[in-house]
Structure 1
Amino acid sequence: MKKNLLIYIIFFFSFSFANANEKIAFIDIDFLLTQSKAGKSVLSDLDKLNKKNISDLKSQEQKLIKEREELDKLKNISSQEDINIKIQAFKKKIEQFNKQKVDLSSKFNNKRDEETLALLQKINPIISDYMEKNQITLIFDKKNIYIAKSELDITKPILEIVNSKVK
């Protein structure tokens, strides 16, 4: 029994001190994506696309509003059959408009995800190389850390490297 206890104690202490010299760091990926030159370029392009989509949709919406006002004016003048036909056509236009809004939103989200993934694929090898050069064993994302020493933050050096290597 004492022999087993001695083996457990030696086993426990040998593993508890073995990993004490591992180097750990953290990085703010969101900051890299928004503040790097490449990230700012991607965000600028996405912002332009989003503004264009919104502008197009507002223009179409204004046309639909004017058409609705014209239909309201025709209610007193035209026959009920003509009004019903025009209302059905108008409802189809509204359905198409709503479908177009959903499609544009979906396409924009897909493009944003693709661009973000492409940028991350360019940044990941830089981070891996930095890890090897600085003998870092583990890197956490800053948003998943409750509290840590600021010396463990490698965001700024990585940002400088990303700005110099990724266009």
Structure 2
Amino acid sequence: MNILKRFITIFIVLFLFVPSSYGEDKIVYLDLDNVVTNTNAGKSILDQLEKSKKSALLRFEKKEKELKIIEDEIKKQKNIISEEELRKKLLEFKKELSKFRKERQKVINEFNKKKKVEFDQFFKKITPIIQKYVSEKNIDMVLDRKKVFVASKKKDITKEIIDIINANLK
């Protein structure tokens, strides 16, 4: 009976642990931020967004300077003009300031929407390329580098993907 228990125990251990040690899932990781910043298409998107952002910032800085000048003029005239006229000027200034803030928020929201649309389109273009690579290399899973705590550099496919994307997207 003792031999039968040992035999069953050994059989169960071998049956449960041996097949899993021979099977290997191929899991790799990809640094998507690196893909965006180092592919030609990603660089193009980043450059366009940066130009748009700088243009908007210059407009806002100009308008802020104009508003600051108006505010300074109102402060200088504070003791010279009547209280009624001062209220009118302050009210007009507050309206202009409110209008400026709304416009700035509108531009920021539009910029964020544009950024989201551009990157969504970019990822729609590169996803089939990555899927093709995954199927050719028999890869079971691709993780984003941000979600990986520690992994071997051999598991990083970022450089290969960047080269493939640059070759396929012009």
Normalization by structure 2: what TM-score? Answer: 0.87
2:42 alignment partner, one of 18, 34, 39:
39
* Structure-2 separation of matches of 1:15 and 1:54: 63
Aligned residue for 1:136, secondary structure, equals coil
1:99 shift after superposition: 1.4
Counterpart of 2:70 (choices 67, 80, 100) is 67
Q: Number of paired residues?
A: 163
- 1:76 aligns with 79
Is 1:86 aligned with 2:89? Answer: yes
Where does residue 143 of structure 1 map in the other structure?
146
Describe the superposition over 1:128-149 as per-residue Cα deviations: whole angstroms up to 9, x where unpaired: 0000111111111111111111
Corresponding letter in the other structure for 1:138: M
Secondary structure of 1:139's counterpart equals: strand
Question: C-alpha displacement at 1:157, in angstroms?
Answer: 0.9
Structure-1 residue corresponding to 2:28: 25
The 3-state SS of whatever aligns with 2:34 is: helix
Pairing partner for 2:108 from 95, 100, 105: 105
Correspondence for 2:167: 164
- 3-state SS of paired residue (1:81): helix
**Residue identity opposite 2:47 in structure 1:** S
Give aligned-pair identity as a percent.
33
Distance in structure 2 (CA, Å) of the matches to 1:82 and 1:55: 32
Report the more deviating stretch, 150-159 or 104-113: 104-113
SS in 1 for 2:142: strand
- Higher deviation after alignment, 115-124 or 56-65: 115-124
3-state SS of 2:51 partner: helix
In structure 2, C-alpha distance between the alignment counterparts of 1:19 and 1:10, rounded to whole Å: 14
Q: 2:123 aligns with which of 120, 125, 134?
A: 120
The Cα offsets for residues 93-125 of structure 1, whole Å up to 9 and x where unpaired, read as 111111122221111112111111111111111
TM-align CA RMSD: 2.1
Q: Give me the TM-score of the superposition, normalised by structure 1.
A: 0.88
Secondary structure of residue in 2 paired with 1:21: coil
Distance 2:14 2:104 in 1: 63
1:12 and 1:67 map into 2 onto residues whose CA distance is 83
Q: Distance in 2 between matches of 1:62 and 1:165?
A: 47
